Each structure stands twice: as C-alpha cells, then as structure tokens.
A and B are shown apart, each in its own frame.
Chain A
Amino acid sequence: MTVSNPPESKQRTSKRLKWLEPFALLFPSGFWLVSFLLVPTIFIFIQSLVPLGKTEFGIDNYLRVFEYVGGNFIYLTVVWRSLLYAVITTGFCLILGFPVAYWLAVIAPKRWRNILLLLFVLPLWTSSLLRSYAWITILRPTGVLNTFLNFIGLSGINVLNKAEGVIIGMVYTYLPYMVLVLYTSLERLDLRLLEAAADLGANSKQTFWQITVPQVSSGIIAGTALVSISSFSDYINPQLLGGPGSRTIASIIELQFLGASSNRGFGSAISMVLILAVTIVIALLIKYGDRRVVSDS
C-alpha cells in the first residue's frame, strides 16, 4: 500500500472555482494541524527559551541538559541511555525481524502470505500497556519465566526493573513494525536476480549480501528509522519494565510536566531536543531511504 498519485487530471477543462475546490478539501485538516500541532510546537519552543523564575529569554534550559552534579552528567546520562536502548532495540528488531519478513514475503506459500503477515502483527493491535503488563507477569522473580527455568532445573534470573527488561519489552513492541516495513520491501524482491546469481556461481552468503540486501536497502533504512525513532521516545516500556535506573528521555519530560519537580521550561527544552533528534533521522530517511515508513504504518 504505497501512496502514489495518479497522474494529475490535466484534461479537466472546467474553469469554475478552480482554486476553491482544493481549498475546501484541504483547509479543514490544514487548519486543525496548524492549530493543534504546529502552533503548539512553536509554543514549547518559546517556553523552552524562558528559564525557570525569569521572564527574559535565555538558553539556560538547554544548558541544563549538560548539568554536572556529583561527578555525574545527570541528564546527559539519560539521553545516552535512551540512545543506547534505541540502538540495541533497533539492532535486535532488524536481526530477528529480517528472517521473519523474508520467510513471509518470499518463502511462505503465496496464498497464505497476507494472512500469516496479519497474524504476525496482530498483537500490535492489542493494548500496549497490557502487553508490557504481560511481560511483568512473565519476567517478575516469581513469574512464568523463572517458574519454567526452575522446572527444567536452572536457577532463575532477574531481568525485571533492569535494562534487560526494558529491551525485551521494546523489542517485542517494535518487532511487528520492522517486519511490516521489511515485508513490503521484500515482497518486491526480484527472485530472477537471485537465480541468476546462483547460476553464475555465487554462494548463498554472496547472494544475500550482494543481491538481496541492496534490493531491499531502502526498506531496511525505513524500518530502522521507524523503530529507532519510536524506541528512542518510548515512555511505557522503560516506565513499567525498567527500574529507577532505567529512566529515559520520555520519563524525564513527564516528570518536568506532571511530576513534583515541575519545570516546564526545562521539560520543553528536552522535548525540543527529542524533536530535533527525530527530525535528523527523518532527514536522513528522506535522503537515503524511501518514504514507505510513512505510508505503510
């Protein structure tokens, strides 16, 4: 399901109200998006420039990101941790998701492909909070995982309230997105090229890296961008599956707005940092990937 436009209708001769039609079609949603998305973003940008307790503009809120207390960059550590979680999650999703997408798009029997893909991503349509809650049930010290490990004679492990728990939850949450994007890309794989490569004596490793990967590179980039953006700004998984030592950017923002140590200017500044990071990824995506990440959600 790619979004592409049919050729614009140039044969249309009627001149009446030429400009009014697109205006009537596009104004309502444009008005809504400008009022409730763009203007609010400008508001937080302005607020981010007003330091706490002051009325004149300044960049104190941005400098606070680099605050150094007791031998620790308290906020920079959080930014770094969010980045690390995002990179690890994206890596796992790519490694685990690629074979799944390949199997669904190339190997699975043709008439089952759509239904199998739908079945694989179906958990995506269930409540994300409840999925994280399910992982708590599985990962807690007396949970399903440890009961199973004890049953087969192994000692239990404790990953809940640690980085490992957050990563498990995030990989679970974002794997279906990765598979969806890779699937649309792999679906268009030209299998004749794979055969030709095999005929010309390439082994399966060479075929994979030199024929398959280049053909789907735009899909890989799109999937990577989608998963890294979403996991970088995830709130639910770090909050529910991570302990106090697993705070990420989203939870710092939440604390500044709804928490006890409220500082909206600083919260706005971190939000702007987040938006900037996402903008960079999108810019890279537009340059090196394709726009399917937007149209295939």
Chain B
Amino acid sequence: MANAINVPPIKRWQTWYMLLAFFYMYLPIGVLTIFSFNKSPSPSQWAGFSLDWYAKFLQNEILRAALKNSLSIALASVSVSAVLGTLTAVGLARYYFPGKSLYRGVTYLPLIVPDIAIAVATLVFFAAIKLPLSLGTIVIAHIVFCLAYVAVVVSSRLASIDPKLEEAALDLGATPVQAFLRVLLPQLLPGILSGCLLAFILSMDDFVIAYFTAGVGSTTLPIAIFSSLRSGGVTPELNALSVLLILASASIAAIAEAIRSWGTHD
C-alpha cells in the first residue's frame, strides 16, 4: 500500500456529501424508530411517547408464531450449510480435479441467480416430486443459498491460511481427519462463524423463496409482514418489530465483522 503518499485533503463539500449519504441510509430506519414510540397509530402526527406498540407486538400471536418459524428455519438451514459450505471451501482450495471451475461456478450460482428464479424452480420441482410444502421445504431451499455464502466467506479465510501447517501435521503422522479437525478447523472457525451469521441474517430476511416454498401454516416473519402490508392493515406494531429486528441484525452484523477480522490484522 502507498503509505508515504499524501492523501488528498478532506474538502468541505466531501464531508457534506458523506453526511448526506449517511443521512439517506439511516433516514428510513430513523423514521421507523421514531414512530415506534408514537402514541398515535397515525404516522402523520406525533401524539407523545409510548411503548404500547412494543407490548402489542409481543402479544401478537401471528407475528410471534411467524418469528418462531423463521428462527427454526434459519437455525436448521445454517447448521447444515455450515458443514456443507466449509467442506466445499476446503475441497475447492485443496484439490485439483477436472471440472473444478465449473463446480466452483455452480456453488456461487445461488448468489447471482435471482431469488424469484430459484423460488419458481424449487416450487416446480417440489410439485413434480410430490413433496408437500412445509417448513422443511423452505429449509431445503434456504440451504442452497446459505451454503454458497458460507463457502464464499470460508474460502476468503482459507486464502490467508498457510497450507504447510496441515501438511506438517500429516508428515508428523496425523490422519487426514485429525489434521482437518485439529489444525485446519480451529483456524477456519472465525470464517465459518461469520459466514453462518451472514447466512442466518439472509435466511431470516428472505421473503421471495419462502413465499413460494411455504406450505399452509408455515408462515415466516417476512411472509407475515408482507401480508399485513398488502392487506393495508399496517399498524405501528410493525414499527416496533422493525426496531427490534434492526437491533438484532445490526448486532449480528457487528459480531460477524468482528469475528471475520479477528486474527487477520495487517
């Protein structure tokens, strides 16, 4: 890196531009937060501070059941993806074989293929093999993209790990399984964890794929939010829910970032 080079001086308009850009990014979140404390259900007027909407959200059976479904789906998909994604990243980094770049391309495909296309394909497939839609079918579909995210994050971590350590373990008589579990895995753990947290947030947030692959009674939180937005019966309960979700995701994102950079300081 060019450390000795003079960094261009910060000009005033640049600072203003950045403040404006940050304002734009946080405006919707700020608005939701303010109105979640509004006593009046109407977002056009401020009627004083209140925590009623948080209490109302906590008493809302539909939203709570949906939240529970979403959490179960995310936990199940992420656990399976953690294993599959890690194995994929290690396999891609350590071995040469014909068709490797094709395999890598297919692994990363879910990151680029539009959600709606994945959703439709999965729905048609489940219908064709006569698998009834349920929470399980959402999990199957979520694993497809969660495993891709875990694989990407773990791969980037792997790139900074010296393969010689693992070889040394093998030379010293460790079995491949021992070398993997005792030498490679501990070094990969931060990458696996931050990949899992990322996949967890994405699974919790996914609307389109779950909407297509959900059976009756397997409503997830985004589906519940969408139907209440569509029916127009929007209440400030949703504001309260947003604030709680934003706090949760922000903490998870911050933890993921801290874990990811842990041990990779330059």
Contacts and interface: CB of A to CB of B under 8 A. Distances in A.
Interface stretch (A56-64, A133-141, A157-165): A133-141
Interface residues of B, number: 101
Contacts of A4: 159
B143 A32 contact: yes
Interface string A9-30: 1011010000001101110111
Nearest to A18: B95
A15 B85 CA distance: 26
Nearest to A147: B44
Interface string B235-266: 00010011001100110111001001100000
Interface string A47-75: 10000000000000000000000000000
B57 interface: no
A39 to B, nearest CB: 7
B238 A133 contact: yes
Contacts of B35: 137
Interface string B134-159: 00000011011001010111011011
Contacts of A6: 93, 158-159, 161-163
A250 B111 contact: no
A24 B84 CA distance: 11
A195 B253 contact: no
B141 A172 contact: no
Contacts of B252: 125
Given A26-B88, A40-B121, A103-B14, A129 B226 contact: yes
Contact of B112 (A3, A264, A267, A278): A278
A130 B144 CA distance: 24
B107 interface: yes
A3 B152 contact: yes
B29 A129 contact: no
Q: How large is the interface on A (under 10, 10 to 19, 20 to 34, 35 or more residues)?
A: 35 or more
A126 B29 contact: yes
B121 A22 contact: no
Given A99-B17, A128-B205, A271 B106 contact: no
A40 B212 contact: no
A146 to B, nearest CB: 9
A127 B70 CA distance: 12
A179 B103 CA distance: 29
Contacts of A3: 152, 155-156, 159
Contacts of A38: 106
B53 interface: no
A83 interface: no
A176 B250 CA distance: 15
B21 interface: yes
Given A33-B144, A175-B25, A264 B205 contact: no
B116 A274 contact: yes
A36 B18 contact: no
Contacts of A130: 32, 225, 238, 241-242, 245-246
B249 A127 contact: yes
Interface in B1-42: 2, 5-8, 10, 14, 17-18, 21-22, 24-29, 31-32, 35
Interface in A92-124: 96, 99-100, 103, 106-107, 114, 118-120, 122-123
Nearest to A270: B120
B123 interface: yes
A254 interface: yes
A100 B21 contact: yes
Interface string B147-181: 10101110110110111000100100000100000
A209 B226 CA distance: 44
A197 interface: no
A192 B7 contact: no
B228 to A, nearest CB: 9
B111 A294 contact: yes
Given A2-B156, A125-B249, A264-B124, A26 B92 contact: yes
Interface of B: 2, 5-8, 10, 14, 17-18, 21-22, 24-29, 31-32, 35, 43-44, 83-85, 87-88, 90-97, 103, 106-118, 120-125, 128, 140-141, 143-144, 147, 149, 151-153, 155-156, 158-159, 161-163, 167, 170, 176, 201, 204-205, 207-208, 211-212, 221-222, 225-226, 229, 234, 238, 241-242, 245-246, 249-250, 252-254, 257, 260-261
Given A28-B87, A133-B234, 8 more contacts: A2-B159, A30-B88, A43-B124, A120-B22, A191-B5, A235-B116, A235-B208, A295-B108
15 contacts: A2-B156, A22-B91, A22-B94, A28-B83, A28-B87, A29-B87, A30-B106, A32-B143, A44-B124, A107-B14, A114-B261, A137-B43, A236-B208, A275-B117, A295-B155
